[in-house]
Amino acid sequence: MSLPIWTPDALSSEARAYAASVWRLVEAQHRVSTLKLVDTLDEQALLEDILEESKPVLPPECAGLDYLLATPFRYGAIYPHGSRFRRAGRTLGVYYAAEGVSTALAEMAFYRLLFYAESPDTPWPADAADYTAFSASVMTGAAVDLTRPPFDRDSAAWTHLTDYSACQALADTARAASVDVIRYRSVRDPGGGSNVALLSAGAFAAPQPLERQTWRIRLSPAGVQAICDFPVVRLAFPPDAFAADPRIREMRWNRG
């Protein structure tokens, strides 16, 4: 696939203001997992501090940010696999989020299924897993929107299901042009929602998440079911929801 060619100056000339609340999901064990290792909350706080000191360093721009916002920007560790806007290796961090919680759930559902697609002998989990969805305020004067002109003429490159080379090259140029945010269409969301990739933690407009929701996500031969009790929301992704991706289309759904 030939890559769209953008120079930093050309990309900078297309940058526009962007402001939104964006959503991301993490497993709900991100805090309570250490509680079972200690006897008191004070001991847990001490253990969390020790673990924090052992992790790769955060860049200065993350100072004061909640760890949920700052974690994707940790440097030092090798990024084992490339993602849409981040190359594999010792590369700069990217904060991926969605403009709607349903899109964030679709992304999470897809990548959970992808694990099982690549591990055909792994049985489905016996129980639903708990996740925390949280929103963050983003505001910048330097964003590019791949869903709008002139970028949409290369939409096939930006939305390829498995080849991220065009997007990774664009992200390299965007960093050189001091672009903070890339907005793009989610190729995982059956509802056609949009995602954002924050290339800089400086794009956060507030240091703490704005809103949190607790979701339970179940994987089974019937697909993925997601339930939130407050507010009450039910979402389902049947086995054909992500069938456009060959890895999911060829997955063995019936397993132990």
Q: Chunked in runs of 10, what are the mean pLDDT values of the chain (256 residues)?
A: 89 98 87 65 68 70 94 85 95 97 98 95 94 97 98 97 97 98 98 97 97 96 96 96 96 87
Predicted pLDDT of residue 47? 65
Q: How many angstroms separate the CA atoms of 256 and 254, rounded? A: 7
Catalogue the E-assigned strands of the chain: 16-27, 95-98, 129-145, 181-185, 194-198, 211-220, 223-229, 232-237
Q: Identify the sign of the CA torsion 234, 238, 243, 245.
A: positive
69 domain residue, yes or no: no
Which DSSP symbol is given to 195?
A: E
CA distances from 122 to 84, 126, 128, 191, 218 (A): 26, 12, 16, 29, 15
64 domain residue, yes or no: no
154 domain residue, yes or no: yes
- The span from the first CA to the last CA of the chain, in angstroms, equals 39
Predicted pLDDT of residue 57? 73
Residue 214 has phi, psi (to 5 degrees) of -105, 125
66 domain residue, yes or no: no
Q: How many angstroms separate the CA atoms of 21 and 198, rounded? A: 12
85 domain residue, yes or no: no
Q: How many angstroms separate the CA atoms of 171 and 165, rounded? A: 10
76 domain residue, yes or no: no
Q: What is the count of structural domains for the chain? A: 1
Helix (H) or strand (E) holding 156: helix 155-158
Tokens 């924090």, located at residue: 52
Predicted pLDDT of residue 178? 98
Q: Could you tell me the pTM of the whole model?
A: 0.91
What residues does 185 pair with on adjacent strands?
A: 194
70 domain residue, yes or no: no
- Could you tell me if 30 and 41 are in contact, meaning their C-beta atoms sit under 8 angstroms apart? no
Identity of residue 50: I
Predicted pLDDT of residue 6? 97
Could you tell me the residue range of the domain that residue 148 belongs to? 8-30+96-249
Predicted pLDDT of residue 31? 57
90 domain residue, yes or no: no
- Could you tell me if 113 and 219 are in contact, meaning their C-beta atoms sit under 8 angstroms apart? yes
Residue 215 has phi, psi (to 5 degrees) of -120, 145
Q: How many angstroms separate the CA atoms of 250 and 256, rounded? A: 17
